[in-house]
Structure 1
Amino acid sequence: MTYPDTPVATPSAVGSRPAGALAAATPATSVHATACVHVAADPVPVPRAAAMPQPASEGLAHAGVRTWITKDAGNRRLPYDRARLERSIDAIHAEFPQLDVADYTRSVAGFVERKASVNADDLVDHLIREAEARVDLTAPEWEHFAARIYLRRLYKRASRNRFYDAELKYGSYVGLQESLADRNIYSNDILRAYSKEELQEAARMIEPERDKLFAYNGLYLLATRYLATDHARNVYELPQERWLTIALYLMQQENVQGKGGRERRMQLVGEAYWALSNLYMTVATPTLQNAGKVGGQLSSCFIDTVDDSLQGIFDSNTDIARVSKGGGGVGAYMGYVRSSGSAIRGVPNSSGGVVPWIKQLNNTAVSVDQLGQRKGAVAVYLDIWHRDIEAFLDLRLNNGDQRLRAHDVFTSVCIPDLFMEAVERRGDWYLFDPHEVKRVKGWYLQDFFDEKKGDGSFRKKYEEVVNDERISRKTVKAIEIFKRIMVSQLETGNPFMFYRDEVNRKNPNKHAGMVYSSNLCTEILQNMSPTRLMQEIISGNQIVTTRQAGDFVVCNLSSINLGRAVLPQQGQGDLISDVLERLIPIQVRMLDNVIDLNQLPVPQATITNRKYRAIGLGTFGWHHLLALKGIDWNTRQAEDFSDALYERINQLAVQASMELAREKGTYPAFAGSDWHTGAYFRDRGYETPAWLDLAAQVAVNGMRNGWLLAVAPNMSTAQIAGSTASIDPIYSAFYYEEKKDYRRPVAAPGLSLETWPYYEKGAYKLDQFASVRQNARRQRHVDQAISFNLYVPSTIRASTLLELHMSAWREGIKTTYYVRSNDIDIAECEWCAS
């Protein structure tokens, strides 16, 4: 019979709890409780029928009563040996000689020696907690010290469950594949695709030393959320085996038919493992979670276009529920849905508008969660000229009629240049019912955009509608609508902003469709269209339904770890290490393979995915990189560096996709695209010889992927990789995370006396106008968009927040994400106080 361990606490979104803090609340594992730090001599078995002597008080160890280390839920006990505890601590200390462990050792020993008995897991938890508590500006290495202790625990538990010597750290990889496939944890795909000899060759790639790259917080997050366990949550898979499994899974369909094909495939597996295990990149969390396992899909987000019909609305709701069940977030464009008071079947004032349907989506988001890990996440987009826009902007407010609120969806507004111009001149703005516009004019306003800044199809069509007296409208002041946007943003962080004209001007596939909205995190911009019911036929006892598939967008994401892959260079102009040159080609291939391997929850998503083969290669660790390179956030140097770095990343990504197209063929919609005609390169001012040569190669060889770059929030994977999230600044260089019964220090990645000056100002004190300029420089090189947060004090002047939005629009930024407000003193905010 086995007995449960006491598990380590689960980390929160901001940081981890101290080990053991949630022991009572967390489901126990059923692996033998074994401390990874040896603190006792030979075990003394306790007869099952005999009760273990209980201490009369906590101080008995000092009264000559021996301290016992208990294991297996008290079924075994071992006499405590302080010398062995010290040797175990010293073994880790040898890796971090700069740390003073004397007080640490005394504290841990005191914790044990005050008690008559200590559970082995509680002792390990205390070792980790005490190490984390010592993290500060002068000794950030304690975070890695804690990780070493936790690694030993993982090695010990995996070895017990897989029957090998823990000193080896890793056991048989082939055995792991077979064992977890038998338990229906791993799929059989890898075992079918690779021979035993190939898997043994892959196993030799494993580098246990790379486990030492993890800080405790990242390692704990990886171990508790993403490593494969059995159904009782017993430890089986270890970190390097997760990286190798992802690499094998994503490369399984690489061509092995030609001469040297199998050898070439194993080389690609090795490259993917190199990229992942060195933490040079991370895959999207669904890929990290599901690759090589049974069930689940590999993509993060989806975008649906809701049709203006009862069937279309409910079909979209069902599709969104299926996506959420599979672990995906959703963006839903509601701009086609008729407004409140619109006619239905010619009967006026029949429609309830978009709000009731958004409330339905709200209920779906709550009731259909993402793989049981978190509630569903849905962002709803609506055009700024839609007659329901005012009610829409109030959806998440805490005041007013709660029957008209939807607190669990995220709101986003689709904004044309013409509206921003009306805000600038404090002009009028007109709201219309899209159904009425379609009935009278024969077309929808949202199907047009301004092809040039200040001129184009949309403003002509808008003026045509304004001048058509047959069409009813509501007249408002544009600035009043914008005030409502800002009020909602300061209270709720929403709505997100989607600048539709700039998005569509820079869309490389405008020949094949329109972009109406973005996804949950505002970084994906791809062609969209609604899926529509064509017919239902009764055939015997069957009902055959035919639907015309629309473009249902899929986000296939991974991210470069800038804090590791772009190393500080010596000498003038040496911007990039050779890591990016090697990394981006394998990263693009991995993303492209996700498209063919994915089991998507709705069929039209599969059709769209294969039509455009869109990927979203992103980045994280921007602030980390600036600190390592000694570049201040608020400087022109940061803007110039952003421009140069992202141009280089883009160039390498285009090159990689072009070479994949030469090897495997172009995406089906390539002909006529801006890639094909060269407009993509001209519109971005890519006129150097290197770019001109690449454009010529693309025209001849094509592109494998219709869209390439997108910078997602990637907070979880950045935490695993030990860097800062996305292109965001850190919250603070060093702070204490307050929890129910403890304070945990949190330090910025790579924090030291050298990097402190570049971290000293946290997000809310950095100049947000500098962030806008910096982001605009990188946006030129990102064919999709960037999850770009604005950090402002809650007391910010309305005029300053308005100017911040106007600046983002003028600079050509395509989307903005949250407006995150904080109650800092306005006097501390230099950029917003002037």
Structure 2
Amino acid sequence: MSNHNTPAAEPAIEPTAADAAAAAAAATATAAAKPAAPAPDAVETDDAIPAPRATDMPDTATADQDVATWITKEAGNRRIPYDRARLERAIDRVHAEFPQLDIADYKRSVFGFVERKDAVNADDLVDHLIREAEARVDVAAPEWEIFAARLYLHRLYKRASRNRFYDTEQKYGSYVGLQESLADRNVYSNDILRAYSKEELVEAGKMIDPGRDKLFAYNGLYLLATRYLATDTSRAVYELPQERWLTIALYLMQDEKPRERRMQLVGEAYWALSNLYMTVATPTLQNAGKIGGQLSSCFIDTVDDSLQGIYDSNTDIARVSKGGGGVGAYLGYVRSSGSAIRGVPNSSGGVVPWIKQLNNTAVSVDQLGQRKGAVAVYLDVWHRDIEAFLDLRLNNGDQRLRAHDVFTSVCIPDLFMEAVERRGDWYLFDPHEVKRIKGWYLQDFFDEKRGEGTFRKKYEEVVADERIARKTVKAIDIFKRIMVSQLETGNPFMFYRDEVNRKNPNKHAGMVYSSNLCTEILQNMSPTRMMQEIISGNQIVTTRQAGDFVVCNLSSVNLGRAVLPQEDQGDLITDVLERLIPIQVRMLDNVIDLNDLPVPQATITNRKYRAIGLGTFGWHHLLAQKGIHWNTPEAEDFSDELYERINFLTVQASMELAKEKGTYSAFLGSDWHNGEYFRARDYNSSKWLELSAQVAVNGVRNGWLLAVAPNMSTAQIAGSTASIDPIYSAFYYEEKKDYRRPVAAPGLSLETWPYYEKGAYKVDQFASVRQNARRQRHVDQSISFNFYVPSTIRASTLLELHMTAWREGLKTTYYVRSNDIDIAECEWCSS
């Protein structure tokens, strides 16, 4: 999915000389004053180059025959003569930062674009300047991407200064004034103004460092500006990038005590965000400090096997989608097709009709028209509807049985994978019938060890019970259907339920039945059930027993920046992880208390477990900078070492936070409490043993800590590679509606090219699995892990890839992304 659209031109107007002088005088007289609103008919200038000073303003009444080209503004109602020298000076000022770039051809193209026309709109000129810079990005000159960012940045500065009436050369205006102005316009909430004094906000405004805007590449800056910066209803620019980071920091730290330390924590959060050492989840990035919207990305619901439960879940999922959250829905309790309803056999339509309802909800309840809702549905591989479920997204067959807008995921026990290995039989059951006859559900059990445990005993007990109807299939045939669907649609995702529950640090308090939309969240789940519904006067009072409705609060370390030597107060340090992770954990923990969630049982679960998902992105970027090839044992060893360190620092940070604020309510009896969490991961070094002892005494603040999400958008904003994925290609061209733009890997140079040369479809997927298995040991939840395969891959190779993932202890796998590359180019899958 592309986010690299060319900036849309906007109408423009430029203040008169008198207006400019008056605004400048007012800004000088009171720097912290609230910005005045522009006149109702005024919108911003789109000129990326400095306007002529009022005293030097050309006479716009000059006769047309004396001017070859006009620069038009204000929808063509105002114009100034084109001045080549002035345009050249503006280009030269940007070029001064990048003297290595050959600017001559760029200038010729820009001058030609202007001078062959009678009139050029100012917005179109800026668009052309940016596009021409982007078009020159290549392996030898990737700096053109930053050149384009500088042009776009100046445009943002100029628009914001015009709308807020301060001098563009200041770059940033009054932060207090911005808060007051956007609160008046119902863009910002009043939370920050209520929580902080004016003096504190003035102090916060002094933290802003405009120089950190230079960390952005163009496509990341453009995505941030067009999707996440606060604007008014006319989309006019007010908030600038550093103000978004500062607003997030202030919002997340508003309830910190004592107040004397609060501004220090705001400064730490701003430092982490503005240096692009980390990013917050997109809902937090979008909504923090603004009116409306919640801060969390991921939710998981457990659908009860009742008409009321099914429709209540549909409503809850709609409310989450409306607020911008992605949802995973577990349907393993819902009775299968042909099951009895109220004792009448062959009455149930099974899970497919209910999934189609969820499909309609995902399409109908969008996020303010920006994108449709996103729902992943999970089903156990022993459920009698599994075959129809695996066909849900196929393009052939009966379309009445298809649901193309949901994402399918299969919950798989070890026993099934063993049956696939030996090409054995597999049995499908109706969960309702199992419950009626046996008194329990199969999904409520798991194997405590590889090759032995409670689940397989219960499964064999059901198989042996002749009262229970079953369908007998070959396990390999089910797996073939899984792979056919994956190559056609990318789904189903895989959820290895036994490994998930074995490594669940809160198994004392529940079960994990499925994951979320992106397969990285693994937390205890249970359905919400209606207890009673009574009439009280003119009111209907409904009582529901809240289940565990999973919420996860995400943010990610930018490995491409945070795990490299850094200048810190004049000293060179190895990296910033020791300083970064404690503030990141605190920010995530504060999201829990500040969140305004759309579903009440989600709020209850969120506060019960206080789960967070600290993740990472920029893995391939980091490997390239470290000079480590993807397909090597060195990459596997580095993955193991780095994620163990991240895990240690995260557990330590949550423990320190627990000492300050208390543990999550379900801590006692957890694997954190009894030390099993550390033993299960073979953490036997002295530092881990010491931390384990400290955790047993002090607790941890958060029931789950780590989860690696796809985070493609935020990685793009931060100028790095997504998640733990390999890049698509070191260098390629992205097709737009009316032009092609080159896309280069982050930090691409002749030195890093060899480490990027093999893109996602050419790196060894078995090496990726091994690398991810080493990482997974240190992640208490899971990792959004994709397979990249040619569409012509042999079934035996794809099967072995899945078997390897299971054997290596991966908890989940995400998309199988296929590409029509020549099989001969695929070294790892052709041998």
Fold match (TM-score > 0.5) = yes
- Paired with 1:38 and 1:439, the residues of 2 have a C-alpha distance of 77
1:784 to 781, 786, 796: 781
AA aligned opposite 2:529: R
Match of 2:547 in 1: 550
Number of matched pairs = 798
Shift of 1:14: 2.7
**Aligned partner of 2:48 among 21, 33, 36:** 36
State the Cα RMSD in Å: 1.8
Task: Note if 1:417 corresponds to 2:414.
Answer: yes
Aligned to 2:175: 173
Partner of 2:730: 733
Counterpart of 2:667? Answer: 670
Specify the alignment match of 1:3 in structure 2.
Answer: none
The Cα shift of 1:578 comes to 3.7
Contact 1:321 1:368 in 2 (8 A): yes
Secondary structure in structure 2 of the residue aligned to 1:800: helix
Cα distance, 1:710 vs structure 2: 0.1
How far apart are residue 103 of structure 1 and its match?
1.2
Out of 741, 749, 766, the residue aligned to residue 744 of structure 1 is: 741
2:729 partner amino acid: S
- Note the alpha carbon deviations across 1:59-102, whole angstroms, 9 max, x for none: xxxx9742111111112111111111111111111111111111
- 5 Å-filtered alignment, 1:99-114, equals 99-114=101-116
Q: Distance between the aligned counterparts of 1:72 and 1:272, measured in 2? A: 40
Contact residue 773 and residue 810 of structure 2 kept, 8 A = yes
Please name the residue that 1:98 is paired with. Answer: 100
CA offset at residue 741 of structure 1?
A: 1.8
User: Does residue 1:326 correspond to 2:338, yes or no?
Assistant: no
Letter in 1 for 2:146: H
Corresponding residue for 1:14?
2
Do 2:10 and 2:123's aligned partners in 1 also have CA atoms closer than 8 Å? no
Q: Is the 8 A contact 1:40 1:79 kept in 2?
A: no
Aligned to 2:508: 511
Correspondences of 1:61-210 after superposition (within 5 Å): 65-210=67-212
Q: Distance in 1 between matches of 2:747 and 2:707?
A: 25
Asked if 1:561 is matched to 2:573, the reply is no
Query: For the Cα contact (< 8 Å) 1:724–1:730, is it kept in 2?
Result: yes
Q: Structure 1: where are the runs of 5+ without partners?
A: 1-12, 55-62, 256-260
Q: Which residue of 1 aligns with 2:16?
A: none
Contact 1:15–1:746 (Cα < 8 Å) also in 2: no
CA distance in structure 1 between the partners assigned to 2:493 and 2:447 by the alignment:
21
Is the Cα contact below 8 Å between 1:29 and 1:233 reproduced in 2? no
CA–CA distance in structure 2, aligned partners of residues 738 and 229 of structure 1 = 29
Inter-partner Cα distance in structure 1 for 2:705 and 2:50: 50
Letter paired with 1:31? V
Give the equivalent residue in structure 2 for 1:640. Answer: 637
In 2: Cα distance, 1:383 partner to 1:150 partner? 50
8 Å Cα contact 2:9-2:123 kept in structure 1:
no
Residue in 1 that maps onto 2:588: 591
What is the DSSP-based 3-state SS (H/G/I as helix, E as strand, rest coil) of the residue aligned with 1:475? Answer: strand
C-alpha separation in 2, matches of 1:184 and 1:93: 40
CA contact (8 A) 2:319 2:598 kept: yes
Kept after mapping to 1: 8 A contact 2:278/2:555: yes
Tell me, yes or no, if structure 1 residue 360 matches structure 2 residue 362: no
| 1:529 match: secondary structure | coil
Contact residue 514 and residue 527 of structure 1 kept, 8 A: yes
Match of 1:59 in 2: none
Instruction: Tell me how far apart the structure 2 counterparts of residues 457 and 370 of structure 1 sit (CA, whole Å).
Output: 43
Summarize the alignment of residues 369-448 of structure 1 with structure 2, pairs less than 5 Å apart: 369-448=366-445
Equivalent-residue separation in structure 2 for 1:109 and 1:591 (angstroms): 50
Deviations 1:432-469 (A, max 9, x none): 00000000000000000000000000000000000000
Aligned to 1:539: 536
1:226-273 deviation line (CA, Å, top 9, x unaligned): 000011100000000000000000000001xxxxx2221000000000
Q: Supply the AA of the counterpart residue of 1:669.
A: A
Mapped to 2, the partners of 1:638 and 1:631 lie a distance apart of: 6
The residue that corresponds to 1:8 in the other structure is none
Aligned residues of 1:46 and 1:75 also touching (Cα < 8 A)? no
* Counterparts in 2 of 1:810 and 1:221: CA distance versus 1, 3 Å: same
1:556 match: secondary structure: strand
The letter for the 1-side match of 2:433 is E
| Structure 2 contact 3–223 (Cα < 8 Å) conserved | no
- Describe how 1:421-820 pairs up with structure 2 within 5 A: 421-567=418-564, 577-820=574-817
Q: Aligned partner of 2:731: which letter?
A: F
Deviation sequence 1:93-139 (CA, Å, 0-9, x none):
11111111111111101111111111111110100000000000000
* CA distance in structure 2 between the aligned counterparts of 1:108 and 1:666, rounded to whole angstroms: 61
SS in 2 for 1:380: strand
For 1:657-707, what per-residue CA distance to the aligned partner results, in whole angstroms no more than 9, with x for missing partners?
A: 000000000000000000000000000000000000000000000010000
Deviations 1:781-810 (A, max 9, x none): 000000000000000000000000000000
Query: Using a 3 Å threshold, how does the CA distance of structure 1 residues 747 and 335 change in structure 2: closer, same or farther?
Result: same
**Match of residue 24 from structure 2:** none
Counterpart amino acid of residue 5 in structure 2: R
2:241 maps to 1:253 = no
Distance 1:576 1:413, change over 3 A: farther
Identify which of 298, 301, 304 aligns with 2:301: 304
- Matches of 1:569 and 1:728 in 2, distance apart? 25
Shift of 1:651: 0.1
Indicate the residue corresponding to 1:10 in structure 2: none
* Contact 1:565/1:580 (8 A) holds in 2: yes
Structure 1 vs Structure 2: percent identity of aligned residues? 87
Measured against aligned partners, the alpha-carbon deviations of 1:762-783 in whole angstroms (never above 9, x if no partner) come to 0000000000000000000000
Residue of structure 2 equivalent to 1:288: 285
Residues 608-657 of structure 1, C-alpha deviation per residue, up to 9 Å, x if partnerless?
00000000000000000000000000000000000000000000000000
* Aligned partners of 1:32 and 1:72 also within 8 Å: no
1:39 Cα deviation after fit = 6.9
Alpha-carbon distance between aligned partners in 1 of 2:63 and 2:223, rounded to the nearest angstrom:
37
Are 1:654 and 1:708, in contact at CA under 8 Å, matched by a contact in 2?
Answer: yes
TM-fit CA distance, 1:372: 2.5
- Is the 1:566–1:576 Cα contact (8 Å) retained in structure 2? no
Range that drifts further, 116-125 or 817-826: 116-125
Alpha-carbon distance between aligned partners in 1 of 2:564 and 2:78, rounded to the nearest angstrom: 50
Instruction: Return the alpha-carbon distance in structure 2 between the equivalents of residues 563 and 541 of structure 1.
Output: 60
Pair 362,45 (structure 1): closer, same or farther in 2 beyond 3 Å = farther
What amino acid is aligned across from residue 94 of structure 2 in structure 1?
Answer: I
Query: 1:525 is matched by which residue type in structure 2?
Result: L
| Alignment-mate amino acid for residue 165 of structure 1 | D
Give per-residue Cα distances to partners, 1:397-425, cap 9 Å, x unaligned. 00000000000000000000000000000
Contact 1:565–1:579 under 8 Å retained in 2: yes
Rounded to whole Å, the distance in 2 between the matches of 1:460 and 1:32 is: 70
Q: Secondary structure at the match of 2:615?
A: strand
Contact 1:335 1:434 in 2 (8 A): yes
Residue 287 (structure 1) shift: 0.1
Contact 1:29–1:234 (Cα < 8 Å) also in 2: no
What is the alpha-carbon distance in structure 2 between the residues aligned to residue 425 and residue 719 of structure 1? Answer: 44
